[in-house]
Amino acid sequence: MISEGHATKLALSRGLLAASAALTLLFAAGCSSSEAGNAVAADTTTASSISAAPSTTDDVSGQEGIDAGGSTDIDVEIGQCVRLGGTMTAATIENAECGSMESNYKVIAKAEQNEQCPTDVNQTYYETLDGVEQGALCLDVDWVVDGCMSVPSVGMDEPARVDCGDPSATDVEQVTEIKTGTADPNECPQGGFAYEARQFVVCTTTIS
């Protein structure tokens, strides 16, 4: 039997000092092949690449989730990263090195059902067999301090790592700091992305 992959609809909102701007990542659930979900391929076709950035979200306690069971076709552990891509009707998921140009999500927990993931994760990927959910991956954007991510504000595109100096990149946010013990973007100089349930905030500067 071939399992079917699905991705949920989740939002990523950037909090500002005096206001807030909602940047929404849209995903639609559906069926496809064994390592498939429903999401739009990330655009990592820029000619240039960023330097290796060792400072990721490895030390964020809120991302040290547990393996609560379930299984998926992709072999990935908590703390490792993936590239989620494809289209709404035929998404793909594959292993990727954290912080690399290919990576757009980090696995922060595993669960038997996607509803068991923390409520503030950026994405969940789950697989079903004969309509029964087999397992889920709880995913956050693979933020890298000093690195840049394109976080589309419209359309169906996923976040994608980009070169901070790429003039063709749009909706670019550069991570300046990751604060734990708070989810208040007002504690960031120029705002950031708050994770309310797990109490940390990714401070960013808007590049474009």
**pLDDT tens column, 1-49:** 667 777 775 667 888 753 333 333 333 233 333 333 433 233 333 333 3
pLDDT attached to residue 103: 98
Q: Is the pTM of this model over 0.75?
A: yes
Report the C-alpha gap between 160 and 75 in whole angstroms.
22
pLDDT attached to residue 88: 57
What percentage of residues in the chain have a pLDDT greater than 70?
Answer: 74
Helix (H, G, I), strand (E, B) or coil at 115: helix
Q: Are 85 and 101 in contact (CB under 8 A)?
A: no
Look at residue 90 and tell me whether its pLDDT is greater than 50: yes
75 or 153: which leads in pLDDT: 75
**pLDDT tens column, 17-26:** 533 333 333 3
pLDDT attached to residue 194: 95
pLDDT attached to residue 29: 31
Q: How far is CA 51 from CA 48, 103, 144, 148, 166, in A?
A: 10, 14, 11, 11, 13
Range with lowest mean pLDDT among 48-52, 73-77, 97-101, 177-181: 48-52
Q: How far is CA 99 from CA 2, 49, 136, in A?
A: 31, 11, 22
